[in-house]
Amino acid sequence: MFNVVKVKDYEEASDKAFEVMKEFIKPGKVLGLATGSTPLGLYQRMVKDHKENGTSYKDIKSFNLDEYVGLPISHPESYYAFMHRNLFDHIDIMEENAHVPSGLGEDLEGQAKHYDEMIDNDPVDIQLLGIGSDGHIAFNEPGTPFDSPTHVTDLAESTIKDNCRFFDNDISKVPTQAVTQGIGTIMKAKNILLIATGANKAKAVKDMIDGPVDEACPASILQKHPNVTIIVDEAAASLL
Ligand code: GLP
């Protein structure tokens, strides 16, 4: 069931997202976190709230959605580095409670399985999501089975192009694989908060909300989730 909240622009979307997220920034809660440019405004508000109001993350756990394969965590575009730079380093979450899947190691599939076991032990209270221009969530590209667990995946050509801007606009520098929470994993979260802003998300938003539930649009599975809030700005909502 979708609760679609239409707002004017990115700033308003971030304000609204913070309002929703704030209810879950409480001891014992488990947050599902995301990367990309979309959640940055929300993270700034979480940091500001921590600094100004003392809201604490000491008893909060988090699980990130995904990570590039083969990128050292010291690389600024690794999702590990992204999360530290934009959120973890500025709040009081404990390092051991802030989980980001690892894209390094000999047994990525085994590590992925372990990641799902950790999530099963600490179910996610609210999962934050962006959406790819092709309708992907996390790195679950079109065609990914709806019941997929955390797994290693190839990135779609369009995703590699979209993410090129983070790698000096040099397509050869963009990793071609990632470890991602599966759609099955994401669907286990008790609540979902998806933010979509900008005209290049309009088609994906339309397919997610009004299209058939079809693996061609991974986000369309959210129609089957009981608690989804979708925050869209005017540009992303233009085809609704
Ligand atoms: C990447 C991430 C997704 C994110 C998407 C959109 O592919 N794996 O989790 O939703 O980018 O990114 P942006 O928010 O920058 O548009």
150-191 pLDDT per residue, tens: 999 999 999 899 899 999 999 999 999 999 999 999 999 999
Q: Read off the CATH number of the domain in which 48 is found.
A: 3.40.50.1360
| Mean pLDDT, range 96-117, rounded to an integer | 97
Q: How many CA atoms lie within 13 A of 120 on its CB side?
A: 9
35 lines ligand 1 (CB under 6 A): yes
Does residue 89 fall inside a structural domain?
A: yes
- Centroid of ligand 1 to alpha carbon of 35 (angstroms): 6
Position 54 scores a pLDDT of 98
CB within 8 Å of 1: residues ≥ 6 apart: 225, 226, 227, 228
Report the nearest-CA residue for atom 10 of ligand 1.
130
Place of tokens 């730079």: 85
Does residue 213 fall inside a structural domain?
A: yes
The tally of domains found in the chain comes to 1
- Domain boundaries, position 37: 2-233
Whether the pLDDT of residue 98 is over 80: the answer is yes
Does residue 150 fall inside a structural domain?
A: yes
| Mean pLDDT, range 209-217, rounded to an integer | 98
Report the nearest-CA residue for atom 3 of ligand 1.
138
Does residue 239 fall inside a structural domain?
A: no
Does residue 219 fall inside a structural domain?
A: yes
Does residue 240 fall inside a structural domain?
A: no
Position 169 scores a pLDDT of 95
Neighbours of 227 (CB within 10 A): 13
Question: Where in the sequence numbering do the catalytic residues fall?
Answer: 66, 134, 136, 141
The per-residue pLDDT for range 46-65, each reduced to its tens digit, is: 999 999 999 999 999 999 99
- 140 phi-psi bin (left φ>0, alpha ψ -120 to 50, beta other): beta
In 3D, which of 219, 208, 146 has the Cα closest to residue 183? 146
Position 1 scores a pLDDT of 74
Does residue 238 fall inside a structural domain?
A: no
Whether the pLDDT of residue 85 is over 80: the answer is yes
Say how far apart CA 89 and CA 42 lie, in whole Å: 15
Residue of 33, 35, 83 to test ligand 1 pocket, by largest number of atoms within 8 Å of CB = 35
pLDDT mean across residues, the chain: 97
Whether the pLDDT of residue 227 is over 80: the answer is yes
| Cα dihedral: 10, 31, 176, 106 (round 10) | 160
| Mean pLDDT, range 77-92, rounded to an integer | 98
